[in-house]
Structure 1
Amino acid sequence: MGRFLYRAEADGKPVSGIQDAASAAEALTLLKEQGLQSVRLQNDAMTAAMPLDTGGLADRDYAELRHYFQARHGLRPFLLMLLKQTWLLWLLAVPGAVFLWLADYRLWAGLLLLLPLTAAAIGLWKYRDARDFDAMLSAIALGHWQKASSLADRLSRRIRDESVAMELSVQRACLQARSGDLDRALAELTQWQPVMDMLMPGMFSAQQARVYLAARDHDRLLRCHRDAVAASDQDPSQTLDYALMEARYGSAPRAHCLLLEVDPTLLPEYGDGFVPWVEGVVALRQGRNEAAIVCLRDALDRLQSLASNPAVWCTLAMVGGDAACALLRLRHTDEAAAMVEAVWPVLSVHGDKEQLAALAPVLPARA
């Protein structure tokens, strides 16, 4: 049983919440039976299967916060949301403290002000972990491996949330694989296998695939994705991930067939850009360059709203690189060069060897 976050409309008004269900399809059915329209899930089955700590927030508030921070990162959005959550406390505390101060109850005035200040301090203390996690993802995207490893070690000593600790271990395993220590990476991941197997069939294979991707072992990457899809009973998000990897490193016709099996309404909202990405890579592999650039531009447009999220930087860079390949084939050299320039800090680190070779005519001079 998973906990699926969703956004929808009820009587024309936006609503958010959490729906318990065994699959994305069941979650969507249950939500529609409640009379909700325009339902969009906010997480996939694998994420929904992980333990969810809402921090005492109501389901609606937690779902709204998750969606808010998915596209907004940094201290300023956090402070704005913190003010939104605590404005009533400040509204009551500040005038009350002023009144007590003027009435010569200065100790009580100070104690009253401590209430919103304490709430703000607790929020900022919790933000520290989110800040460091984002910094780790940024370092990974930019290829600053030592900084990323140091941040991962620091976080591992502080994180108590099991879901975050699990994701942190996967990130550390990917770092180790990228540095060439695949055995150590797999050992790091294997310690979580009993938990992953209990949470969702196929989860461990899907996470192994991420490690093999970091190691650039594409044969084992594809095998793990096949295993994950089979074990998860053709979960749509797992199938889409497999289709993308087949499109890039395996069979383009097979990727196309896999994509036909995916119901886009069952994908999380942030997955909207991945469908045209797969379509674009398949078209690129088949030499249909006009179709490829249309799909890849669509993918970039859909992903652009998440551009401030460092977890998406590698994806944006790869899509940008693919789009530049299509533009170069169509002899739009200047546009291809501009596309590469925009994503080069990340593409230079994570781009495929064949992709970078194809882009050689428009690579930045510093390359």
Structure 2
Amino acid sequence: MSYCSIRCGGPSVNPPGCLPERQDVMDVSNHLSDAIQARERIVTVNPEDTVTTAAKRMAENGIGCLIIADEQHKLVGVVSERDIIDNVVGAAADSVDPLKKLVRDIMTTNVVTCSPGTSIDTVQKSMIETRTRHLPVMDNGIAIGMISTRDVMAYQCDKANTTRDITIFAMAKLAESRDPETGSHLERVCSYTRTLAEELATTEKYAEIIDDEFIRLIYSTAPLHDIGKIGIPDHVLLKPGRLDDREFEIMKKHAALGADTLNLALKRYPEAEYLLMARDIAASHHERVDGLGYPGGLVGDEIPLSARIFAPADVYDALVSKRIYKSAFTHDVAKSILIEGKGTQFDSDVIEAFLCHEHDFLQIKERYKDTELAA
């Protein structure tokens, strides 16, 4: 059986969570990567330690600032990389070896701090006003952590990405809302796509191509694959049955329409990688590796990798989903159709990735199953 004889609907993604109106210092740690949290975790030294000891502690822990605490863990100052560098640079006129000086001789004692409940906006303002890159986090007079400009920037980037993902998902849902049958298609197909990308990333062939950023982008931009359906007339898009040849030609235009729409956005924001990937998926998710797809008749690797990964995820979901004009196929039937299309309709590597994760596909299908369609 060829999928070409089956009319399919359009996909979706895990809806991003709503952004809180306010974030405080402790919330930031939940948005940072493990690497940042490890780098900026609290490390203390004694005021009587040498500068050499402080420098070693920074190097060992990969951090840029140390908290100086007394025996009761009370904050008495901080010492940063800049303090140590300034100490070494200024040692030319000093008879004392700069690395043998004590921490108390170079530490900053007039320290601006914040509490776990301090808003990130306030932290950022304090850093700018005091020209410092690190603020100790204090709770009842005890140093419990350190927040850096790097942390704040990472949080702001994460917030911007979340806002973008919410916008993408909302746009996709708006386009999808014209077709009430698609249900949780976006949620399922984007989860399928991420699963395939993650598997390919473990292979030698794709390890250097598919990184964490690629996976994040393909998951967050895949919802826009059918954005071009906004331009398809209702009598075609919402027809309760199979499309005739003329109607199918009209429906096929949605890929080019989606690409044109996203190309307009790319002209305004040419550096936006997520728009580039969204455009590639929208334009090419109906291409076939044998060159018999549309709209461009691309062959093999001419098809962007993101679209080659997305295509079988989209087809699988269309096959196993119920529509007014067809019953849902079983997983085994859908699997056989994907295997039949290996190397002709679909990228062989992507189908192999699917076969490695059949169980995950079934779990995703169950997690985001649609309610029964009205008769």
Q: Which entry has the higher C-alpha Rg, 1 or 2?
A: 2
TM-score, normalized by the shorter chain, greater than 0.5? no
Normalising by structure 1, we get a TM-score of 0.31
Q: Which has a greater percent of helix?
A: 1
Structure with greater contact order relative to length (CA < 8 Å, sep ≥ 6): 2
